[in-house]
Structure 1
């Protein structure tokens, strides 16, 4: 048995693999700067609003990560999110469908759009940039056509869909959820370590695993305490967190996840190893559009309406920026779903802090661009260090 200790971590740092530390450092700096400039920034009320703001775009960013892992891009995610939200709203409001059934159909529409994009990319050999750029324009046009002359459809404030963004966990359920998550994480760490020891594989020291479990417990408990000081833990955060954790488990502990990383790292080597590269690429686009549909539904729930700007504005750019800032490589083969959570936290924190300070939106865009450029620079340096 080999124990992976501090020397192993230092070797990874020397190779340029900084992990999530730059993003965590950035979040701490943002909290310190905006917290000192405006005392309301770190208040429970503002942090709760921050969580609500990031759920929809963060979910879309999760889908972007799926295609970025393959070194591809999806420029249609914003339009697809708006289109699926409109489909759901039309079925629910105008045709009186059951809201759950309307959501299911909207998600299936998103999956079908992703399948079309994937087939066009893999069978017609069209670059993903062109395919999804056409989708960005075309699906936005279909959205406007479906809305008709009215341009806006409101959702019932007391309905199921709008209620998704206005539902708060009772304190006992929030703490139970924390206990379950920490317990599951600890059990998974112990079981994984024992299996690796039995197989003669290198493992991390026990104190490192205990430190990570304790850190997760403190982080989750702190979040519950802060959010409970306002309205409580929002259901939107639970949904977003479940998607992040679920997709991370799929990518790290299933054959499909390993194939995704293999294709993104070296498609030709993956093909020679017997992996169906075409199928993996198609599924990545399906996942991207499906998650975009989920994001659009969450956005419609929070606004209790859909209109011609649904999925538009800077949603796509913020989703891509969140994925990259969180640590997903633009060159494929490296990234975690937690990148969406960290990245969208950075972007929404910057946006929220500047709004509190009444900073002009032009400055906000420039600051976000600088953070994005810095993230890409770190990614490029990491690749160079890894190659050496």
Structure 2
């Protein structure tokens, strides 16, 4: 007697409904997994308050200024995320950007180098700075606070040496100046939106297909549609406003389009998001930040991970320095100094990156940078002095750090960490 068996059926991953997804998200928030929620809520509240108090805040001119004002700090914060994920700190990132900007100015203006060679040299300087700091922290075991504090002091002297004890070097290269001062063609902005939204939708569907193929719970199509729709509406509105005429004399000079620095930040965001979420190196970053000793016993080269994180941080500081030099049209001893470091660290923490390590994303730097830019810009429009701006920004940073600490305690109490 023979028996037949039914053909094996391929397991299909269940798709959680939208309502269940929302309930799960609410439960995670209650359990302390706040993510970027505080930054998003803060951004909405701040924009609403400043829009009510100052009609100029939502004008096309000021909207474009927000992107250029916060670009340099956002880029530096993106690099700091990698160091903070390890539970370390880099106090020298601000002046490291100043050193790289000074190298750029000297090579461009004084030595007559082409822009691409000067930019490459400035970035190499950033990488070397990161290698030295990372080696001192990882190999010699000197606390990052001490190493980067010493570098913070030393780099101020290096900038003065490069600038002949305080000389202001003008940037005249049109390519460098275009980074923070020029705009894209309006049609190119819309093309960027279409390509970005379609790419995001494709990645969401591809990720769902992969999860289904592995028998994991996949997101419902309704949730994907909400995400894609939200991105399309937000990016479309931003491009629409930025494409409006911003010039006071449109007959003489036209000022429209998305600032050139915006796609630069988007590319950096995509690259570092991919590194953190889709590569072994990114997983090792989170593992070392969560528990360095456990990561070492699991075979992860902790020293190499730490050195790499500081290299990325200083490299991004060099990019931030180039953007700062472009925006100011010059390099001086204050480039990268003053409040740059505080705002960069604040941006990363406000965006949701934990000071305790193990939690954070590249997107946090962008969200936090937007919050910092809105606070500084809005208070400037309302006529507040620098002292008030510092007090308010410090209070926002303290609030973000407090939210981070409380969320970790709540997550620990609920067994999520």
TM-score surpassing 0.5?
yes
Mapped to 1, the partners of 2:321 and 2:114 lie a distance apart of 18
Distance 1:271 1:2, change over 3 A: farther
Tell me if the contact between 2:166 and 2:333 (Cα under 8 Å) persists in the aligned partners: no
Per the TM alignment, residue 149 of structure 1 is displaced from its structure 2 partner at its CA by 4.2
Per the TM alignment, residue 344 of structure 1 is displaced from its structure 2 partner at its CA by 1.0
Aligned to 2:310: 285
The answer as to 2:228 corresponding to 1:213 is yes
State the secondary structure of the residue aligned to 1:316: helix
Aligned to 1:122: 138
Mapped to 2, the partners of 1:163 and 1:13 lie a distance apart of 42
Per the TM alignment, residue 21 of structure 1 is displaced from its structure 2 partner at its CA by 1.8
The answer as to 2:163 corresponding to 1:147 is yes
1:107 is matched with which residue: 104, 123, 136?
123
TM-score, scaled relative to structure 2: 0.91
- More deviation, 101-110/369-378: 369-378
Mapped to 2, the partners of 1:251 and 1:167 lie a distance apart of 31
Listed as ranges, the matches of 1:307-346 within 5 Å are 307-346=332-371
State the secondary structure of the residue aligned to 1:138: helix
Aligned to 1:164: 179
Distance 1:386 1:239, change over 3 A: same
The answer as to 2:27 corresponding to 1:11 is yes
Structure 2, unaligned stretches of length 5 or more? 1-12, 247-255
Aligned to 1:306: 331
1:68 is matched with which residue: 71, 78, 84?
84
State the secondary structure of the residue aligned to 2:55: coil
1:279-324: per-residue Cα shift (whole Å, max 9, x none)? Answer: 0000000000000000000000111100111111100000000000
Aligned to 2:396: 371
Per the TM alignment, residue 362 of structure 1 is displaced from its structure 2 partner at its CA by 1.4
Mapped to 2, the partners of 1:186 and 1:43 lie a distance apart of 31
Mapped to 2, the partners of 1:362 and 1:302 lie a distance apart of 24
Aligned to 2:217: 202
The answer as to 2:102 corresponding to 1:86 is yes
Distance 1:2 1:12, change over 3 A: farther
Listed as ranges, the matches of 1:166-315 within 5 Å are 166-229=181-244, 230=246, 231-315=256-340
Per the TM alignment, residue 235 of structure 1 is displaced from its structure 2 partner at its CA by 0.6
Tell me if the contact between 2:160 and 2:166 (Cα under 8 Å) persists in the aligned partners: no
Tell me if the contact between 2:343 and 2:372 (Cα under 8 Å) persists in the aligned partners: yes
Tell me if the contact between 2:350 and 2:368 (Cα under 8 Å) persists in the aligned partners: yes
Per the TM alignment, residue 213 of structure 1 is displaced from its structure 2 partner at its CA by 0.7
Aligned to 1:358: 383
Aligned to 2:63: 47
Structure 1, unaligned stretches of length 5 or more? none
Distance 1:150 1:386, change over 3 A: closer
- More deviation, 145-154/334-343: 145-154
- More deviation, 196-205/304-313: 196-205
Indicate the structure (1 or 2) with the bigger Cα radius of gyration: 2
State the secondary structure of the residue aligned to 1:233: coil
- More deviation, 329-338/158-167: 158-167
Per the TM alignment, residue 11 of structure 1 is displaced from its structure 2 partner at its CA by 2.2
- More deviation, 131-140/280-289: 131-140
Tell me if the contact between 2:353 and 2:361 (Cα under 8 Å) persists in the aligned partners: yes
Aligned to 2:410: 385
Per the TM alignment, residue 150 of structure 1 is displaced from its structure 2 partner at its CA by 5.3
Tell me if the contact between 2:83 and 2:89 (Cα under 8 Å) persists in the aligned partners: yes
Mapped to 1, the partners of 2:327 and 2:385 lie a distance apart of 24
State the secondary structure of the residue aligned to 2:336: coil
State the secondary structure of the residue aligned to 2:56: coil
1:138 is matched with which residue: 137, 154, 163?
154
Distance 1:149 1:115, change over 3 A: closer
Mapped to 1, the partners of 2:52 and 2:26 lie a distance apart of 34
